[in-house]
Amino acid sequence: MTPVIPGKVREIRLARVPEGLPGRGDFTVAEVPPPVPDAGQVLVRNRHFLVFAALRTLIGGEVEDAPLPPLRPGDPLFGPAVGEVVTAPEGGALRPGDTVLHMAGWREYAVLPPEQCTRLDGALPDPAAHLGQGAVAYGALTRAAEVRAGDTVLVTGAAGAVGSSAGSVARLLGAGRVVGSTGSAWKADRLTAELGYDAVVLRGAGSFAARLAEAAPQGVDVVLDTVGGEQLAAAVQVARHGARFALVGALRGQLSPQGAGGTAPVELDGYRLILKGISLRGYTGADHPGVDAEWSARFGSRLRSGEIPFPSTRIAGLAQAPQAFEDLLAGHHFGTVVVDL
Amino acid sequence: MTPVIPGKVREIRLARVPEGLPGRGDFTVAEVPPPVPDAGQVLVRNRHFLVFAALRTLIGGEVEDAPLPPLRPGDPLFGPAVGEVVTAPEGGALRPGDTVLHMAGWREYAVLPPEQCTRLDGALPDPAAHLGQGAVAYGALTRAAEVRAGDTVLVTGAAGAVGSSAGSVARLLGAGRVVGSTGSAWKADRLTAELGYDAVVLRGAGSFAARLAEAAPQGVDVVLDTVGGEQLAAAVQVARHGARFALVGALRGQLSPQGAGGTAPVELDGYRLILKGISLRGYTGADHPGVDAEWSARFGSRLRSGEIPFPSTRIAGLAQAPQAFEDLLAGHHFGTVVVDL
């Protein structure tokens, strides 16, 4: 049976290099002929894709040491997505109807080589939950921060995609107390009510470091930092001797009106890191390829049962994606931001 | 036989809290009655003591997270020393004539509890070599930086007490290429001629980062940082993916005319640490108590044979110690600075 594909399909493109924070007007919804796979390629109908702040680092100009080249005006955006295979090469491992995870989001249809599609064999009841960042929190806490039973854990940016999962993950790994930071009281309430946080510190006027010290009077053993900048510096101040920091995000830079959004400079005192025996370790999933499988093996059944929540903001329809990105950078969203197609 | 002890002995005291860099005039050589041990204490005749830059952090005012309280005017200085036991408690492990390592330097005679004296059983031909910092370089490279065979290693402050040993230690541990930094051409020459360095970058006018990139065109895998500040930031720039940094010193702050000398602030970009998967780890020997014994067991015979050099500057006589400290902070000395009594 030949699948029915529309004569025109849509994708989100960069319209111009933004000045300051990107807004919906910096993107276009383009109507294009459907992509045509060659004999070795897979055609995927996307169902969900991720809206994520790190995309800003690719659309604001050159960022040194970036893993990918910057996007130019006219380029389609990309990022994590979940879709269904429409057609696949004869004799390969993929079949029409398979659910796959891949990196060609922000479009209705994608053409990819099979090796860039990960088949979701033990698919979760909500396939969009495969866009959740629990595995990143798990990898950062186990590989970079080496969390131990009883540790006090600080998660900066606790309402973000990684942070909203990190409270539950830290609990599963035995943390004694979990403290977060975020920008709004309603987010703080939800984090403590539903998502494993014991206390949440609000950023804003006055000394963040002083509020943090109040929330963690005994100091912190582990820091999972998704923000950088002054929140990271404050975390060093309240860190206990031997504290271990996993650096996983730089929202401070990505959500700032200044600059290209790629950097989160922080002034640290090296002597204090020495005296306190602190370690800071940068973490990305790409550097730890075994983590996803370990996360699924250890906690897949609790993800399927809903015991581990998937905190998300759902956006209906491709055309809403630019607004969703603008709102994400403005701090209006909670958890993993997913566009459903 | 009753040992002969002079009626007056000398010690170095802090005269005043210095403004800016301490100089010889900030110290006094005091003549005092010899200290009298009680029945449970050891009396030691000091033979060698260490002159070290980190002392500045205790004499310039309060430094947050410092392991010791600041010195006040009138207080005797202290630090690592090697001496001979004059009298020891009856029935204890120490005997008159034993050579011991302890922390009551900057004075001719010291009284200590026995548990604060480490007997040097396998004493080196030059007992002052026990003040060498090879064990710190060894611990930092094995514990914090986890050096591997073939690694390119960068040592900042290569002519300092730790750095002047670190080149040889890195070689023993299999480093493929060892690059250092220092402040003078004559130090650079000695480091490359005698002490295991393949190349040495001079700090000074122009871009340190650019010179460093020339000396390590393939980047660096391991950084042993004794300086901090812009040298540490430049090291992050040239670091390879997955690079491991051991932070062991903050000479940048300790040798600066500004401030109390305790800090070496550095502006780092957290996002770059993430993308490059870099780890930074503060290291002190105090946090790794097994390292000294391991260092002696693995390399003691090569230390005794002289195969591992002990680069040092020797100063004759207690009265010269304040000048030696001033000269150390001015960058005039090479290697471990030892006052011989």
- Residue to test with chain B: of A271, A272, A273, A279, most B Cβ within 10 A: A271
DSSP string, A162-218: HHHHHHHHHHHTT-SEEEEEES-HHHHHHHHHHSS-SEEEEPSSS-HHHHHHHH-TT
Neighboring chain A residues of B143 at a CB cutoff of 8 Å: none
Contact B316, B104 (CB under 8 A): no
Give the pLDDT of residue A280.
97
Q: Per the CB < 8 Å rule, is A65 touching B275? A: yes
Band the pLDDT of B193: cuts 50, 70, 90: very high
Residue B52 has pLDDT above 70, yes or no: yes
Give the pLDDT of residue A2.
66
Give tens-digit pLDDT for A277-299.
999 999 999 999 999 999 999 99
Residue B263 has pLDDT above 80, yes or no: no
CA distance A239 to chain B (A): 11
What are the angstrom distances between the C-alpha of A234 and each of A246, B132, B228, B259? Answer: 15, 36, 19, 21
- The lowest-confidence range among A210-224, B189-203, B262-276 is B262-276
Q: Which one, of B109, B91, B137, lies nearest residue B4 by Cα?
A: B109
Give the pLDDT of residue A122.
74
**Higher pLDDT, residue B122 or B43:** B43
Q: Per the CB < 8 Å rule, is A275 touching B242? A: no
**Higher pLDDT, residue A152 or B204:** A152
Residue B121 has pLDDT above 90, yes or no: no
Rg over CA atoms, chain B? 20
CA distance A203 to chain B (A): 19
What are the angstrom distances between the C-alpha of A40 and each of A32, A46, A108, A125, B34? Answer: 22, 19, 20, 30, 89
Whether ipTM tops 0.95, in short, is no
CA distance B243 to chain A (A): 10
When pLDDT is averaged across residues B14-43 and rounded to a whole number, the result is 95
Using left for φ > 0, alpha for ψ between -120 and 50, and beta otherwise, residue B65 falls in left
Q: Per the CB < 8 Å rule, is B273 touching A247? A: yes
Tokens of B309: 């050099």
Neighboring chain B residues of A282 at a CB cutoff of 8 Å: 270, 272-279
**Higher pLDDT, residue A256 or B38:** B38
Check if A61 contacts B (Cβ < 8 Å). no
Instruction: Give the predicted TM-score (pTM) of the model.
Output: 0.94
Give the pLDDT of residue A261.
63
Calculate the average pLDDT of chain A.
94
Tokens of A71: 């996007």
CB-nearest partner of B280 from A63, A249, A280:
A280
Give the pLDDT of residue A250.
87
Q: Which of residues 113 through 142 in chain A touch B, CB cutoff 8 A?
A: none
Check if B289 contacts A (Cβ < 8 Å). no
Give the pLDDT of residue B191.
98
Q: Where are the alpha helices (DSSP H) in chain B?
A: 56-59, 134-139, 161-172, 185-194, 208-215, 229-238, 251-254, 270-275, 291-305, 321-329
Distance between CA atoms of A149 and A176, rounded to whole angstroms? Answer: 7
When pLDDT is averaged across residues A230-248 and rounded to a whole number, the result is 96
Give the pLDDT of residue B41.
97
Give tens-digit pLDDT for B218-261.
999 999 999 999 999 999 999 999 999 999 998 888 888 876 66
CA distance B222 to chain A (A): 14
Distance between CA atoms of A306 and A132, rounded to whole angstroms? Answer: 13
Check if B143 contacts A (Cβ < 8 Å). no
Give the pLDDT of residue A325.
97
Count how many pairs of residues, chain A against chain B, have C-beta atoms within 8 Å: 129
Q: Which one, of B47, B37, B39, B130, lies nearest residue B92 by Cα?
A: B39
Give the pLDDT of residue A108.
98
Contact B50, B338 (CB under 8 A): yes
Residue B1 has pLDDT above 60, yes or no: no
Share in percent of chain A as helix, strand, coil (round to 5): 30, 25, 40
Give the pLDDT of residue B2.
66
Contact B121, B101 (CB under 8 A): no
Contact B137, B169 (CB under 8 A): yes
HSE of B173, CA atoms in CB hemisphere, 13 A: 25
Check if A64 contacts B (Cβ < 8 Å). yes
For helices B208-215 and B229-238, the axis angle rounded to 10 degrees is 40
Give the pLDDT of residue A3.
75
Buried-state track A239-250, b at ≥16 Cβ within 10 A, e below 16: bbeebbbbbbbb
- Tally: H helices and E strands in chain B: 10, 16
Check if A248 contacts B (Cβ < 8 Å). yes
Give tens-digit pLDDT for A292-340.
999 999 999 999 998 999 999 999 999 999 999 999 999 999 999 999 9
Distance between CA atoms of A314 and A231, rounded to whole angstroms? Answer: 28
Q: Per the CB < 8 Å rule, is A279 touching B275? A: no
Give tens-digit pLDDT for A261-282.
666 688 888 889 999 999 999 9
Instruction: Give me the amino acid identity at B215.
Output: A
Give the pLDDT of residue A10.
98
Give tens-digit pLDDT for A27-54.
999 999 999 999 999 999 999 999 999 9
Band the pLDDT of A1: cuts 50, 70, 90: low
Q: Per the CB < 8 Å rule, is A278 touching B281? A: yes
Calculate the average pLDDT of chain B.
93
DSSP string, B230-298: HHHHHHHHHEEEEEEEEE---HHHHT-SSSSS---EEEEEHHHHHHTT-EEEE--GGG-TTHHHHHHHH
